[in-house]
Amino acid sequence: MRFFVENLSIHGEGLPGAAAQTSAGTIPAMLRRRLSPLGRTALAALSDLKPCAQEQVVCASSWGDLSRSLALLESLSETGEMSPADFALSVHNAIGANAAIWLKNHAPSPAVCAGALSASAGLLECALALTGSPSVLLLRYEPAMPALWQGPDVVECAGAPAAWALRLAREPGAQTLLAFEVSPLLADNAPWTRPQAGVICEEAAFLSGERTHLEQRQYSACGVFERGWQWRRL
């Protein structure tokens, strides 16, 4: 799969190529108040792309808005109750749904999840969307992992809420910022090493030009390679 990027936005403390400040000022105040720190970071990245009317947005996240889910579980364990409004905002596609409300966008807005391969799964979804549309937006985000959820298999997140967004075009043109190719990684004999800064940081490093090649892998519970993708700049 080949992708042609016309717009790129990276938000998140410490991410390569990230904007100096994350501002959600273009998002209406009533909607902004409903958003978590991750939601504001994600929609700020999307806002930078200046979405066109009814332009499809694909969301990709392994953990979604986990802070809300954790708060709901804590409330349930302490009081036996939870807020219906908070529950509605905790579902995996909540950030994409809020974006659709804000943009008055009635186009399909899939939200994909594939662990460490979530960004690659999002790109695959975009490749399918581009067969019927000249452009599509990919919004990729991960939360700061709560301490309670930290573990050796949690590799996707950065130290703070992080997001990046791309406008992908079907064909190269005068607005193309970069082009890259994504292909399956069919085998892997190298030992697994934990990303030092999180998978989403590695993706940002690739998109910002710090890396020209990126490999994403998924392993079984016993450490056996199952599948993977490799990204290469063209």
* Backbone angles phi and psi of 204, in degrees to 5: -65, -40
Is 90 exceeded by the pLDDT of residue 125?
Answer: yes
Neighbours of 184 (CB within 10 A): 11
Is 80 exceeded by the pLDDT of residue 51?
Answer: yes
Give a yes or no: residue 203 inside a domain.
Answer: no
User: Crossing angle, helix 199-207 and helix 118-129, to 10 degrees?
Assistant: 50
Give a yes or no: residue 213 inside a domain.
Answer: no
Give a yes or no: residue 234 inside a domain.
Answer: no
Give a yes or no: residue 26 inside a domain.
Answer: yes
Stretch 82-103: mean pLDDT: 85
Give a yes or no: residue 209 inside a domain.
Answer: no
pLDDT of residue 19: 79
- Decide: helix, strand or coil at residue 81: coil
Give a yes or no: residue 206 inside a domain.
Answer: no
Tokens encoding 44: 């700020």
**Alpha-carbon distance values, 76 to 70, 71, 80, 81, 148 (Å):** 10, 9, 4, 5, 16
Is 90 exceeded by the pLDDT of residue 3?
Answer: yes
Q: Would you say 213 and 232 are in contact if contact means Cβ atoms under 8 Å apart?
A: yes
Give a yes or no: residue 66 inside a domain.
Answer: yes
Cα separation, 205 vs 203, whole angstroms: 5
**198-214 per-position pLDDT tens digit:** 899 999 999 999 999 99
- Side chain identity at 215, as an amino acid letter? E
Cα separation, 135 vs 129, whole angstroms: 8
Minimum mean pLDDT among 62-71, 171-180, 217-226: which range? Answer: 217-226
Write down the mean pLDDT value for the chain. 88
Closest CA to 229 of 93, 96, 60: 60
Burial of 38 (0-12, 13-18, 19+ CB in 10 A): buried
Cα separation, 111 vs 125, whole angstroms: 9
Give a yes or no: residue 21 inside a domain.
Answer: yes
**141-200 per-position pLDDT tens digit:** 999 887 777 776 778 888 889 999 999 999 999 999 999 999 998 876 666 666 677 899
Q: Tokens 């190298």 correspond to what residue?
A: 190
The DSSP bridge partners found for residue 140 are: 60, 164
Is 80 exceeded by the pLDDT of residue 86?
Answer: no
Tokens encoding 92: 């995996």
pLDDT of residue 68: 83
**CATH number, domain with residue 43:** 3.40.47.10
Number of domains in the chain: 1
Domain hosting residue 77, numbered range: 2-178
Is 90 exceeded by the pLDDT of residue 72?
Answer: no
